[in-house]
Structure 1
Amino acid sequence: MNRGVKVTAVFAALVAGVVAVSLVSAGSGQFGVPLSQVFDSVLHRLGLTETRLDPFAEGALWQVRFPRVVMTLLVGGVLGVCGAVMQGVFGNPLAEPAVVGVSSGAAVGASLSIVAGWTFFGAFTTPALGFAGGLVTTLLVYALSRSRGRSEVVTLILTGVAVNAVTMAIISFLMFSADQAAREQIVFWQLGSLAGSRWPYVVTVLPLVAVGVAVSIALSRKLDLLALGERQARHLGVDVERLRLGAVVIVALMAAAAVSYSGIIGFVGLIVPHGLRMLLGPGHRVLIPASLFGGALLLAAADLGARTLFTYADLPIGMLTALVGGPFFFWLLLRTRRRSGGWA
């Protein structure tokens, strides 16, 4: 198949999948709304039809369901883009945003807010501290990994591992010192959930997502050159250190914004970019936008499953992504080992 046709087909399938899963998800739940009525409601809001639903269905769709659907698409898309950028920066298909401490740092900020009972930003307090914790932790990992004005990939990854261990110890201490209610809230936050999504939260995240994705796409050409090797990239005019810093900062901003509202959701940034790279090739100009739609589709499908697999239960979405991502990660390890002829 011609590459252009293949790319077009993959993007068309991703967009169609996102639209279909979003509409089905909006109509699914304890108060079911038929798909035809969901479609009619959307058309009515766009001013394309005069059809109206009953007030209860309209309220369920536009006050509860659609905010959650849109937030799910934003978070999934962001995690997919972050994974593509991280794998490009590190030159490693096993990299994902959690490597640089975004998720664990956000968990520290959110846990601190929950245990201390802070409410100085109202309903935005926990997400705001989660965002700040993720951003600060990522910048700390980058600063600690630098030596003589440069940062190496291996040092950056190992520093991330060390800082992640420290943040997990801090979370454990906070849970130990918290009461039962706060402890349960921290555990639920760490498992990941989009149940509390509202339009004000969507409006808060959307600008950061838009800017982050635009900057990531702008870095595509330099990431492609970096794939040739650091020395070759420098000869071609790429400031590798500046590129790495810029990529880490933009990933920190996007991922911290996402997980501050959703909690920790793993493996999306690992599965989506790697799977699409096998389909579309390593070019980031195509891979990053594809990862945006792929991540949105994967998380939307996972959230649909989280709300409908069990009656009157809303499963933690991070648990479902881990159930899918764990076996995929193991398969990826085995595939990498076979292709390289072993680790030694």
Structure 2
Amino acid sequence: MKPTNKKLTIMGRVPLPVLLIMLSILLLLLMGVAIGVGSVSISQSTVWNVIGHKLSITNMQPNWSMGRENIIWSVRLPRTLLAAMVGAALAIVGAALQSVTRNPLADPHLLGVSSGAALGAIIALLHTGMVLGVVTVPVFAFLGALLAMFLVLAVANFSSAHSAGRLILAGVAVAFVLTALGNLFIFMGDHRSSHTVIFWMLGGLGLAQWGQLWFPLVTLLLGSGYLIYNARYLNAMTLGDESASTLGVPVERFRLVVIVVCALLTGAAVAFSGVIGFVGLMVPHIVRLLVGGDYRKVLPLSALFGALFLVAADIASRIIMPPEDMPIGILTGLVGGIAFVFLMRQKRNVSL
């Protein structure tokens, strides 16, 4: 154990800007690989030449086919960008929820937020139609995620489940109820159109479009900006409500705002990618193992690690069963479920 602790201490001393630059470069390289991988393999030189040409960065004359250009620019680049944004959003939400609930096993999936967002998306797709235009599904997904978080808090208060572990149990119960309601709305909807919601149930990135990427991008920038700006408050919240209050944190109000921000981030992610579980559970723990528990480091690094993880998962989903794409929610569920078992063993002293 001593060598491991020493190694982690050394990594924790690396300046944050250096870590951010290194991970950002790694993310760009991995995104290039993701764009080139698929049923039609495309070289990295072609990938970056097409992107540079489209962004008017280079004056290079196209020496590639229009088909490959369309695959890169219209299909794979939006998909890869969406994977990075969703991974970053879910990871930073998981880190924030683990602070305000003081539970190392909290994440948007286990606390029912993803199920609530999926319920909202199902209602919008099968019952209300696009009453608000292109933002209908994201807005309904956000409202569903917000409903889920408040239901979890209400159930916890009703059952006097104030311990961190029991809050997870309340989240699992709410997730089951919301999932059942989602299935009910699918059953009540037009059966000929119900196949469209399979995307939301399994999780996937195949429907990414340039015209829709602005919504998850804006929510990610605003939500993560707020959480990172208040990282010192999240550090205090891990000490308990009384300690945080003595340090000047408006505990109840801050927890409520964090829940709303996390619901917004989760709703935006689920609206465009479906239910992708366990990213918010695993990534913050990996980051803490590397740099410690200071949320000034944990939050931005969780966002980058989450982006890296989901882009890598998207690559794997396309090469496991060619030419078909495995739903990414299946892959993250398999990996996350195994990781959750090991986290339970590591955190076996958590009271339930």
1:77 aligns with 2:85: no
Cα pair distance change 1:30/1:2, threshold 3 Å: closer
| Equivalent position of 1:284 in the other structure | 295
Q: 1:55-88: per-residue Cα shift (whole Å, max 9, x none)?
A: 2222221111111111111100000100110111
SS at match of 1:97: coil
Partner of 2:328: 317
Matches within 5 A, 1:101-180: 101-116=112-127, 118-121=129-132, 124-142=135-153, 145=156, 156-180=167-191
Partner of 2:58: 49
Equivalent residue for 1:86, pick from 91, 97, 109: 97
Structure 1 residue identity aligned to 2:39: Q
Structure 1: distance between partners of 2:142 and 2:14: 40
Structure 1 unaligned blocks of 5 or more: none
Structure 1 stretch displaced more, 16-25 or 6-15: 6-15
Q: 2-side partners of 1:127 and 1:214: how far apart?
A: 20
Which residue is 1:40 aligned to?
Answer: 49
Structure 2: how far apart are the matches of 1:271 and 1:195? 24
Aligned counterparts of 1:255 and 1:2: Cα–Cα separation in 2: 30
Q: Are the equivalent residues in 1 in contact too, given 2:118–2:182 (CA < 8 A)?
A: yes
Match of 1:190 among 201, 216, 223: 201
Change (3 A) 1:332 1:156: closer
- Work out which of the residue numbers 329, 333, 343 in structure 1 matches 2:340: 329
Measure how far apart 1:7 and its partner are: 4.8
Structure 1 contact 27–35 (Cα < 8 Å) conserved:
yes
Partner of 1:297: 308
Q: Which residue does 2:6 correspond to in 1?
A: none
Deviations 1:103-136 (A, max 9, x none): 1111212222333372434555444422332233
Counterparts in 2 of 1:16 and 1:203: CA distance versus 1, 3 Å: same
SS in 1 for 2:13: helix
Q: In structure 2, how many angstroms separate the alpha carbons of the residues matched to 1:334 and 1:162?
A: 22
Q: 2:238 aligned with 1:234, yes or no?
A: no
Spell out, residue by residue over 1:223-266, the C-alpha distance to the aligned partner (whole angstroms, 9 max, x if none). 11122222222112111111211111111111111111111000
- Counterpart contact for 1:266–1:322, Cα < 8 Å: yes
SS at match of 2:347: helix
Asked whether the 8 Å contact 1:7–1:280 carries over to 2, the reply is no
Corresponding residue SS for 1:32: coil
Summarize the Cα distance change of 1:47–1:169 in structure 2 as closer, same or farther, 3 Å threshold.
closer
- Report the 3-state secondary structure (helix = DSSP H, G, I; strand = E; otherwise coil) of the residue aligned with 1:20: helix
Encode CA deviations 1:166-191: one digit per residue, 9 max, x unaligned.
Answer: 21221222233345444433333211
Q: Distance in 1 between matches of 2:174 and 2:91?
A: 23
Moved more, 174-183 or 271-280: 174-183
> Match for residue 26 of structure 1?
35
Q: Report the Cα distance in structure 1 between the residues aligned to 2:135 and 2:110, rounded to whole angstroms.
A: 26
Cα distance change, pair 124–221 in 1 and its aligned pair in 2 (3 A):
closer
Q: Is the 8 A contact 1:139 1:249 kept in 2?
A: no
Distance in structure 2 (CA, Å) of the matches to 1:304 and 1:287:
25
2:268 corresponds to: 257
- Residues 11 and 291 in structure 2, CA contact (< 8 A), matched pair in contact too: no
**Residue 266 (structure 1) aligns with:** 277
Residues in 1 aligned to 2:195 and 2:250: alpha-carbon distance in whole angstroms: 46
Instruction: Provide the residue aligned with 1:306 in structure 2.
Output: 317
Q: Distance in 2 between matches of 1:310 and 1:165?
A: 30
- Is this contact kept in 2: 1:104–1:164, CA < 8 A? yes
Contact 2:51 2:73 in 1 (8 A): no
Aligned equivalent of 1:220: 231
Which shifted more, 72-81 or 165-174? 165-174
Unpaired stretches in structure 2, ≥5 consecutive residues: 1-9
Q: Letter of the 1:197 partner, please give it.
A: A
**Match of 1:317, as an amino acid?**
I
Q: Distance in 2 between matches of 1:65 and 1:36?
A: 15
Distance 1:334 1:166 in 2: 27
**Does 1:245 pair with 2:248?**
no
Q: CA deviation at 1:89?
A: 1.1
What is the one-letter code of the residue matched to 1:41? V
Letter in 2 for 1:269: G
- Pick closer, same or farther for the CA change 1:117–1:221 going to 2, 3 Å: closer
Distance 1:137 1:307, change over 3 A: same
